[in-house]
Structure 1
Protein backbone atom coordinates (compact mmCIF):
# COMPACT_ATOMS: atom_id res chain seq x y z
CA UNK A 1 0.00 0.00 0.00
CA UNK A 2 1.39 3.37 -1.01
CA UNK A 3 1.88 6.07 1.58
CA UNK A 4 1.87 8.77 -1.10
CA UNK A 5 0.25 11.84 0.44
CA UNK A 6 0.36 14.11 -2.62
CA UNK A 7 -2.73 15.22 -4.48
CA UNK A 8 -1.78 13.20 -7.56
CA UNK A 9 -4.77 11.89 -9.48
CA UNK A 10 -3.25 11.28 -12.90
CA UNK A 11 -5.57 13.79 -14.54
CA UNK A 12 -3.58 15.86 -17.06
CA UNK A 13 -4.54 17.83 -20.15
CA UNK A 14 -2.60 18.59 -23.31
CA UNK A 15 -1.01 22.00 -22.88
CA UNK A 16 -1.43 21.83 -19.12
CA UNK A 17 1.09 21.19 -16.38
CA UNK A 18 2.39 17.75 -15.50
CA UNK A 19 1.13 15.80 -12.52
CA UNK A 20 3.77 14.52 -10.11
CA UNK A 21 3.82 12.11 -7.20
CA UNK A 22 6.83 11.64 -4.94
CA UNK A 23 7.14 8.10 -3.61
CA UNK A 24 9.84 6.48 -1.50
CA UNK A 25 12.64 5.84 -3.98
CA UNK A 26 10.99 7.17 -7.12
CA UNK A 27 9.25 10.30 -8.40
CA UNK A 28 6.67 9.74 -11.14
CA UNK A 29 5.59 12.64 -13.37
CA UNK A 30 2.95 12.49 -16.11
CA UNK A 31 2.51 14.83 -19.09
CA UNK A 32 -0.08 14.76 -21.89
CA UNK A 33 1.07 15.72 -25.40
CA UNK A 34 -0.23 15.80 -28.98
CA UNK A 35 -3.61 15.74 -30.67
CA UNK A 36 -3.86 12.11 -29.54
CA UNK A 37 -3.47 13.09 -25.86
CA UNK A 38 -0.59 10.71 -25.35
CA UNK A 39 0.81 10.26 -21.87
CA UNK A 40 4.55 10.49 -21.28
CA UNK A 41 5.94 9.45 -17.90
CA UNK A 42 9.20 10.55 -16.30
CA UNK A 43 10.47 8.21 -13.58
CA UNK A 44 13.29 9.71 -11.50
CA UNK A 45 15.33 7.67 -9.03
CA UNK A 46 15.65 9.45 -5.70
CA UNK A 47 19.13 8.15 -4.92
CA UNK A 48 20.95 8.93 -8.17
CA UNK A 49 18.79 11.46 -9.98
CA UNK A 50 18.79 9.24 -13.06
CA UNK A 51 15.51 9.14 -14.94
CA UNK A 52 13.65 6.93 -17.37
CA UNK A 53 11.10 8.30 -19.86
CA UNK A 54 8.19 6.11 -20.88
CA UNK A 55 7.07 7.00 -24.44
CA UNK A 56 8.64 10.05 -26.10
CA UNK A 57 5.29 10.40 -27.79
CA UNK A 58 5.28 13.82 -29.48
CA UNK A 59 6.02 17.54 -29.10
CA UNK A 60 9.75 17.43 -28.36
CA UNK A 61 9.73 21.01 -27.06
CA UNK A 62 7.11 20.17 -24.44
CA UNK A 63 8.95 17.00 -23.51
CA UNK A 64 12.26 18.84 -23.15
CA UNK A 65 10.60 21.38 -20.88
CA UNK A 66 9.05 18.49 -18.94
CA UNK A 67 12.45 16.81 -18.57
CA UNK A 68 14.30 20.04 -17.78
CA UNK A 69 17.70 19.36 -16.23
CA UNK A 70 16.79 15.80 -15.22
CA UNK A 71 19.33 13.25 -16.44
CA UNK A 72 17.37 10.90 -18.69
CA UNK A 73 19.44 7.74 -19.15
CA UNK A 74 16.78 5.50 -20.70
CA UNK A 75 13.73 5.88 -22.94
CA UNK A 76 11.30 2.97 -23.08
CA UNK A 77 8.83 2.83 -25.96
CA UNK A 78 5.83 0.74 -24.95
CA UNK A 79 4.96 -0.20 -28.53
CA UNK A 80 5.57 0.69 -32.15
CA UNK A 81 2.54 2.84 -33.01
CA UNK A 82 3.57 6.18 -34.49
CA UNK A 83 1.87 8.34 -31.88
CA UNK A 84 4.07 6.94 -29.10
CA UNK A 85 7.50 7.72 -30.54
CA UNK A 86 7.34 10.84 -32.71
CA UNK A 87 9.67 12.78 -30.39
CA UNK A 88 12.04 9.89 -29.82
CA UNK A 89 14.80 11.08 -32.19
CA UNK A 90 14.96 14.54 -30.57
CA UNK A 91 14.85 13.23 -27.00
CA UNK A 92 17.57 10.67 -27.66
CA UNK A 93 19.75 13.20 -29.45
CA UNK A 94 19.46 15.63 -26.54
CA UNK A 95 19.96 13.09 -23.76
CA UNK A 96 22.08 10.30 -25.21
CA UNK A 97 19.63 7.90 -23.56
CA UNK A 98 19.55 4.18 -24.15
CA UNK A 99 16.50 3.18 -26.21
CA UNK A 100 14.45 0.23 -25.00
CA UNK A 101 11.65 -1.67 -26.76
CA UNK A 102 10.54 -5.20 -27.58
CA UNK A 103 12.18 -6.65 -30.73
CA UNK A 104 8.79 -7.37 -32.33
CA UNK A 105 8.05 -3.63 -32.55
CA UNK A 106 11.61 -2.34 -32.92
CA UNK A 107 11.43 -1.91 -36.69
CA UNK A 108 8.55 0.54 -36.32
CA UNK A 109 10.59 2.99 -34.24
CA UNK A 110 12.38 5.97 -35.84
CA UNK A 111 15.69 5.22 -34.08
CA UNK A 112 17.54 1.96 -33.45
CA UNK A 113 16.67 0.06 -30.29
CA UNK A 114 19.92 -0.21 -28.37
CA UNK A 115 18.51 -2.41 -25.59
CA UNK A 116 15.85 -4.88 -26.77
CA UNK A 117 13.83 -6.51 -23.98
CA UNK A 118 11.73 -9.64 -23.69
CA UNK A 119 9.07 -10.76 -21.21
CA UNK A 120 10.62 -11.19 -17.77
CA UNK A 121 13.58 -8.89 -18.39
CA UNK A 122 14.25 -5.88 -16.17
CA UNK A 123 15.15 -2.25 -16.85
CA UNK A 124 17.02 -0.22 -14.23
CA UNK A 125 16.72 3.47 -13.50
CA UNK A 126 19.31 4.39 -10.91
CA UNK A 127 18.73 2.06 -7.96
CA UNK A 128 15.19 1.16 -9.03
CA UNK A 129 14.24 -1.86 -11.12
CA UNK A 130 11.26 -2.22 -13.45
CA UNK A 131 9.98 -5.57 -14.69
CA UNK A 132 9.14 -5.98 -18.39
CA UNK A 133 5.79 -7.61 -19.15
CA UNK A 134 5.12 -8.56 -22.78
CA UNK A 135 1.44 -8.04 -23.65
CA UNK A 136 0.66 -9.33 -27.13
CA UNK A 137 -2.35 -8.17 -29.14
CA UNK A 138 -2.47 -4.39 -29.47
CA UNK A 139 0.83 -4.78 -31.28
CA UNK A 140 3.12 -7.83 -31.43
CA UNK A 141 5.71 -6.19 -29.19
CA UNK A 142 3.73 -4.15 -26.67
CA UNK A 143 5.25 -4.09 -23.20
CA UNK A 144 4.26 -2.89 -19.75
CA UNK A 145 6.66 -1.89 -16.98
CA UNK A 146 6.05 -2.90 -13.36
CA UNK A 147 7.69 -1.11 -10.45
CA UNK A 148 7.30 -2.89 -7.12
CA UNK A 149 8.23 -0.05 -4.83
CA UNK A 150 7.96 -1.96 -1.62
CA UNK A 151 6.88 -0.71 1.78
CA UNK A 152 5.40 2.75 1.58
CA UNK A 153 5.61 2.98 -2.20
CA UNK A 154 3.21 0.35 -3.51
CA UNK A 155 3.15 -1.29 -6.92
CA UNK A 156 2.85 0.65 -10.17
CA UNK A 157 2.45 -0.48 -13.80
CA UNK A 158 2.86 1.51 -17.01
CA UNK A 159 0.68 -0.25 -19.57
CA UNK A 160 1.02 1.67 -22.83
CA UNK A 161 -2.05 0.98 -24.94
CA UNK A 162 -2.66 -2.52 -23.58
CA UNK A 163 -4.82 -1.67 -20.54
CA UNK A 164 -7.03 1.36 -19.85
CA UNK A 165 -9.84 2.22 -17.47
CA UNK A 166 -12.70 0.14 -18.88
CA UNK A 167 -10.85 -2.34 -21.02
CA UNK A 168 -7.88 -3.58 -22.97
CA UNK A 169 -6.34 -1.84 -25.98
CA UNK A 170 -7.68 -1.74 -29.51
CA UNK A 171 -7.23 -4.96 -31.47
CA UNK A 172 -9.10 -3.78 -34.61
CA UNK A 173 -11.95 -6.26 -34.02
CA UNK A 174 -9.59 -9.18 -34.64
CA UNK A 175 -10.85 -11.98 -32.36
CA UNK A 176 -7.49 -13.73 -32.19
CA UNK A 177 -5.63 -10.56 -31.26
CA UNK A 178 -8.28 -9.67 -28.69
CA UNK A 179 -8.12 -13.13 -27.12
CA UNK A 180 -4.34 -12.92 -26.94
CA UNK A 181 -4.38 -9.48 -25.34
CA UNK A 182 -7.08 -10.17 -22.79
CA UNK A 183 -5.39 -13.47 -21.90
CA UNK A 184 -2.03 -11.76 -21.42
CA UNK A 185 -3.55 -8.94 -19.37
CA UNK A 186 -5.42 -11.40 -17.18
CA UNK A 187 -2.49 -13.75 -16.66
CA UNK A 188 0.47 -11.38 -16.64
CA UNK A 189 -1.06 -8.34 -14.92
CA UNK A 190 -4.19 -9.31 -13.02
CA UNK A 191 -2.67 -12.67 -12.14
CA UNK A 192 0.48 -11.19 -10.61
CA UNK A 193 -0.33 -7.71 -9.30
CA UNK A 194 -2.26 -6.70 -6.16
CA UNK A 195 -5.51 -4.75 -6.37
CA UNK A 196 -3.95 -1.50 -5.17
CA UNK A 197 -1.49 -1.47 -8.09
CA UNK A 198 -1.72 1.91 -9.81
CA UNK A 199 -2.14 1.70 -13.59
CA UNK A 200 -0.65 4.40 -15.84
CA UNK A 201 -1.97 4.01 -19.42
CA UNK A 202 -0.74 5.44 -22.71
CA UNK A 203 -3.70 7.84 -23.02
CA UNK A 204 -6.17 9.34 -20.60
CA UNK A 205 -6.87 8.77 -16.94
CA UNK A 206 -5.16 6.37 -14.56
CA UNK A 207 -6.85 3.48 -12.78
CA UNK A 208 -5.98 0.56 -10.49
CA UNK A 209 -5.88 -3.18 -10.97
CA UNK A 210 -8.59 -3.54 -8.33
CA UNK A 211 -10.93 -1.15 -10.15
CA UNK A 212 -10.65 -3.10 -13.39
CA UNK A 213 -10.42 -6.70 -12.17
CA UNK A 214 -14.19 -7.23 -11.66
CA UNK A 215 -14.87 -6.38 -15.31
CA UNK A 216 -12.67 -8.93 -17.06
CA UNK A 217 -15.60 -11.24 -17.81
CA UNK A 218 -17.55 -8.30 -19.28
CA UNK A 219 -14.66 -7.44 -21.58
CA UNK A 220 -14.44 -11.02 -22.80
CA UNK A 221 -18.17 -11.14 -23.43
CA UNK A 222 -18.25 -7.92 -25.46
CA UNK A 223 -15.09 -8.85 -27.40
CA UNK A 224 -13.20 -5.57 -27.05
Structure 2
Protein backbone atom coordinates (compact mmCIF):
# COMPACT_ATOMS: atom_id res chain seq x y z
CA UNK A 1 0.00 0.00 0.00
CA UNK A 2 1.11 3.57 -0.68
CA UNK A 3 2.16 5.60 2.35
CA UNK A 4 -0.01 8.69 2.94
CA UNK A 5 1.06 9.84 6.41
CA UNK A 6 -2.59 10.36 7.33
CA UNK A 7 -3.24 8.76 10.72
CA UNK A 8 -5.88 9.31 13.38
CA UNK A 9 -5.97 8.69 17.11
CA UNK A 10 -7.25 5.16 17.69
CA UNK A 11 -6.68 4.25 14.06
CA UNK A 12 -4.01 2.08 12.44
CA UNK A 13 -0.43 3.09 11.89
CA UNK A 14 0.91 3.94 8.43
CA UNK A 15 4.22 2.53 7.22
CA UNK A 16 6.67 4.25 4.87
CA UNK A 17 8.96 1.55 3.48
CA UNK A 18 12.34 2.80 2.29
CA UNK A 19 15.18 0.60 1.07
CA UNK A 20 17.21 0.82 4.29
CA UNK A 21 14.63 2.10 6.78
CA UNK A 22 11.03 1.43 7.73
CA UNK A 23 9.14 4.39 9.21
CA UNK A 24 5.94 3.64 11.11
CA UNK A 25 3.74 6.62 12.01
CA UNK A 26 0.97 6.50 14.60
CA UNK A 27 -1.23 9.13 16.27
CA UNK A 28 -1.96 9.16 20.00
CA UNK A 29 -4.32 11.26 22.09
CA UNK A 30 -5.45 13.51 23.52
CA UNK A 31 -3.41 16.12 21.59
CA UNK A 32 -3.26 14.17 18.30
CA UNK A 33 0.49 13.69 18.60
CA UNK A 34 2.50 11.74 16.05
CA UNK A 35 5.03 9.14 17.15
CA UNK A 36 7.44 7.55 14.70
CA UNK A 37 9.10 4.15 14.95
CA UNK A 38 12.22 3.79 12.80
CA UNK A 39 13.54 0.31 12.02
CA UNK A 40 16.85 -0.38 10.31
CA UNK A 41 16.15 -3.04 7.71
CA UNK A 42 19.68 -4.44 7.87
CA UNK A 43 19.87 -4.97 11.64
CA UNK A 44 16.22 -4.70 12.84
CA UNK A 45 17.32 -2.18 15.49
CA UNK A 46 14.53 0.28 16.32
CA UNK A 47 14.33 3.91 17.47
CA UNK A 48 11.23 5.78 18.63
CA UNK A 49 10.73 9.48 18.02
CA UNK A 50 8.52 11.09 20.71
CA UNK A 51 6.95 8.76 23.28
CA UNK A 52 4.07 11.21 23.35
CA UNK A 53 1.29 9.29 25.13
CA UNK A 54 -0.56 5.96 25.26
CA UNK A 55 2.40 3.82 26.27
CA UNK A 56 0.45 0.64 25.60
CA UNK A 57 -0.20 1.75 22.01
CA UNK A 58 3.44 2.66 21.46
CA UNK A 59 4.75 -0.56 22.99
CA UNK A 60 2.35 -2.53 20.84
CA UNK A 61 3.80 -0.82 17.78
CA UNK A 62 7.35 -1.53 18.99
CA UNK A 63 6.58 -5.22 19.41
CA UNK A 64 8.76 -7.92 20.87
CA UNK A 65 12.02 -6.68 19.33
CA UNK A 66 12.10 -3.65 21.64
CA UNK A 67 13.81 -0.35 20.92
CA UNK A 68 17.38 0.76 21.38
CA UNK A 69 16.60 4.43 21.86
CA UNK A 70 13.95 7.13 22.21
CA UNK A 71 14.46 10.65 20.88
CA UNK A 72 12.32 13.44 22.35
CA UNK A 73 12.12 16.31 19.88
CA UNK A 74 11.44 18.97 22.52
CA UNK A 75 10.44 19.54 26.12
CA UNK A 76 6.69 20.22 25.80
CA UNK A 77 4.71 17.77 27.90
CA UNK A 78 2.54 16.38 25.13
CA UNK A 79 5.67 14.83 23.58
CA UNK A 80 6.88 12.79 26.58
CA UNK A 81 3.82 11.60 28.55
CA UNK A 82 4.65 7.95 27.82
CA UNK A 83 8.42 8.29 27.98
CA UNK A 84 8.95 6.97 31.49
CA UNK A 85 6.79 3.90 30.92
CA UNK A 86 8.32 3.14 27.52
CA UNK A 87 11.86 3.44 28.88
CA UNK A 88 11.01 1.28 31.89
CA UNK A 89 9.58 -1.42 29.62
CA UNK A 90 12.38 -1.39 27.03
CA UNK A 91 15.53 -0.08 28.70
CA UNK A 92 15.95 2.30 25.77
CA UNK A 93 18.61 5.02 25.79
CA UNK A 94 17.09 8.51 25.82
CA UNK A 95 18.10 11.43 23.61
CA UNK A 96 17.01 15.09 23.70
CA UNK A 97 18.32 18.51 22.75
CA UNK A 98 20.80 19.82 25.30
CA UNK A 99 18.84 23.03 26.00
CA UNK A 100 15.55 21.16 26.54
CA UNK A 101 16.69 18.19 28.61
CA UNK A 102 16.05 19.86 31.97
CA UNK A 103 12.39 20.30 30.99
CA UNK A 104 11.87 16.57 30.41
CA UNK A 105 11.16 14.68 33.68
CA UNK A 106 12.92 11.53 32.51
CA UNK A 107 16.73 11.57 32.61
CA UNK A 108 18.34 12.18 29.21
CA UNK A 109 21.19 9.76 28.56
CA UNK A 110 22.55 11.60 25.51
CA UNK A 111 22.41 15.39 25.16
CA UNK A 112 22.09 16.30 21.50
CA UNK A 113 23.74 19.30 19.83
CA UNK A 114 23.43 20.67 16.32
CA UNK A 115 25.12 18.37 13.82
CA UNK A 116 25.25 15.33 16.08
CA UNK A 117 24.60 11.92 14.58
CA UNK A 118 22.04 9.55 16.06
CA UNK A 119 22.15 6.00 14.75
CA UNK A 120 19.55 3.30 14.44
CA UNK A 121 21.35 0.20 13.27
CA UNK A 122 23.27 1.19 10.12
CA UNK A 123 21.10 4.25 9.47
CA UNK A 124 22.32 7.69 10.48
CA UNK A 125 20.16 10.66 11.46
CA UNK A 126 21.64 14.17 11.61
CA UNK A 127 20.35 16.45 14.37
CA UNK A 128 19.44 20.04 13.57
CA UNK A 129 19.03 22.38 16.55
CA UNK A 130 16.14 24.82 15.95
CA UNK A 131 15.58 27.60 18.49
CA UNK A 132 12.20 29.29 18.86
CA UNK A 133 9.40 26.85 19.58
CA UNK A 134 11.55 25.80 22.54
CA UNK A 135 15.20 26.55 23.31
CA UNK A 136 16.37 23.04 22.50
CA UNK A 137 14.10 21.63 19.80
CA UNK A 138 15.77 19.22 17.41
CA UNK A 139 14.84 18.01 13.95
CA UNK A 140 16.26 14.74 12.63
CA UNK A 141 17.38 14.45 9.01
CA UNK A 142 17.73 11.10 7.26
CA UNK A 143 19.54 11.63 3.97
CA UNK A 144 18.41 8.51 2.15
CA UNK A 145 21.25 7.37 -0.14
CA UNK A 146 18.69 5.74 -2.41
CA UNK A 147 16.29 8.67 -2.68
CA UNK A 148 15.37 12.02 -1.18
CA UNK A 149 15.86 13.16 2.43
CA UNK A 150 13.33 12.62 5.20
CA UNK A 151 13.04 15.02 8.16
CA UNK A 152 11.29 14.61 11.51
CA UNK A 153 10.55 18.18 12.60
CA UNK A 154 8.74 17.83 15.94
CA UNK A 155 6.73 21.03 16.40
CA UNK A 156 9.11 23.27 14.44
CA UNK A 157 7.55 22.84 10.99
CA UNK A 158 4.05 21.85 9.88
CA UNK A 159 2.05 22.03 6.68
CA UNK A 160 1.32 25.74 6.40
CA UNK A 161 3.95 27.20 8.68
CA UNK A 162 6.41 27.01 11.54
CA UNK A 163 5.55 25.89 15.06
CA UNK A 164 4.02 28.18 17.65
CA UNK A 165 6.16 30.92 19.17
CA UNK A 166 5.19 33.55 21.73
CA UNK A 167 7.57 36.41 20.93
CA UNK A 168 8.70 37.93 17.66
CA UNK A 169 12.35 37.19 18.40
CA UNK A 170 11.48 33.52 18.92
CA UNK A 171 9.61 33.47 15.61
CA UNK A 172 12.52 35.11 13.81
CA UNK A 173 14.95 32.63 15.35
CA UNK A 174 12.83 29.66 14.33
CA UNK A 175 12.40 30.96 10.79
CA UNK A 176 16.13 31.64 10.48
CA UNK A 177 16.89 28.11 11.59
CA UNK A 178 14.32 26.52 9.31
CA UNK A 179 15.62 28.45 6.31
CA UNK A 180 19.36 27.96 6.87
CA UNK A 181 19.28 24.37 8.17
CA UNK A 182 16.39 22.89 6.15
CA UNK A 183 15.06 24.96 3.26
CA UNK A 184 18.45 26.24 2.03
CA UNK A 185 20.09 22.83 1.98
CA UNK A 186 17.37 20.27 1.24
CA UNK A 187 15.66 19.55 -2.10
CA UNK A 188 11.97 20.07 -2.75
CA UNK A 189 11.33 16.32 -2.62
CA UNK A 190 12.34 16.17 1.06
CA UNK A 191 9.57 14.52 3.08
CA UNK A 192 8.56 16.25 6.33
CA UNK A 193 7.15 14.29 9.28
CA UNK A 194 5.73 16.74 11.87
CA UNK A 195 4.82 16.27 15.50
CA UNK A 196 1.10 16.65 14.79
CA UNK A 197 -1.09 16.17 11.75
CA UNK A 198 -0.31 15.29 8.15
CA UNK A 199 3.05 15.16 6.44
CA UNK A 200 4.28 17.65 3.86
CA UNK A 201 7.36 18.32 1.71
CA UNK A 202 9.96 21.06 1.53
CA UNK A 203 8.77 21.87 -1.98
CA UNK A 204 5.17 22.31 -0.88
CA UNK A 205 6.12 24.77 1.86
CA UNK A 206 9.02 26.62 0.20
CA UNK A 207 6.89 29.10 -1.81
CA UNK A 208 5.28 30.37 1.41
CA UNK A 209 8.38 31.37 3.39
CA UNK A 210 8.00 35.09 2.62
CA UNK A 211 4.30 34.89 3.50
CA UNK A 212 5.14 33.35 6.89
CA UNK A 213 7.72 36.03 7.55
CA UNK A 214 5.24 38.78 6.73
CA UNK A 215 2.46 37.43 8.96
CA UNK A 216 4.77 36.68 11.88
CA UNK A 217 3.58 33.18 12.67
Distance 2:143 2:64 in 1: 26
| Distance across 2 between alignment mates of 1:90 and 1:39 | 17
Name 1:91's counterpart in structure 2: 86
Partner of 2:182: 189
**1:48 alignment partner, one of 33, 37, 43:** 43
1:71 is displaced (CA, Å) by: 2.8
Q: Does 1:115 align with 2:134?
A: no
Instruction: Give the C-alpha shift of residue 99 in structure 1.
Output: 0.2
Aligned length: 217
Higher-RCO chain (CA-CA 8 Å, sequence separation at least 6) = 1
For residue 154 of structure 1, report the CA deviation from its aligned partner: 2.2
User: Paired residue for 1:214?
Assistant: 207
CA RMSD of aligned residues (A): 0.7
Distance 2:173 2:38 in 1: 29
Q: SS in structure 2 opposite 1:134?
A: strand
Superposed CA offset, 1:16-44 (max 9, x none): 00000111000000000011000000000
- TM-score after normalising by structure 2: 0.98
Unmatched 5+ residue regions in structure 1? 1-5
Q: Which runs of 5+ in 2 are unaligned?
A: none
Q: Deviations over 1:92-112 (max 9, x none)?
A: 111111100011110111211
Q: Summarize deviations over 1:90-148 as a string: whole Å, max 9, x none.
A: 11111111100011110111211001110011000000000000010000000000001
State whether structure 2 residue 160 is matched by structure 1 residue 166.
yes
Q: TM-score, normalised to structure 1's length?
A: 0.95
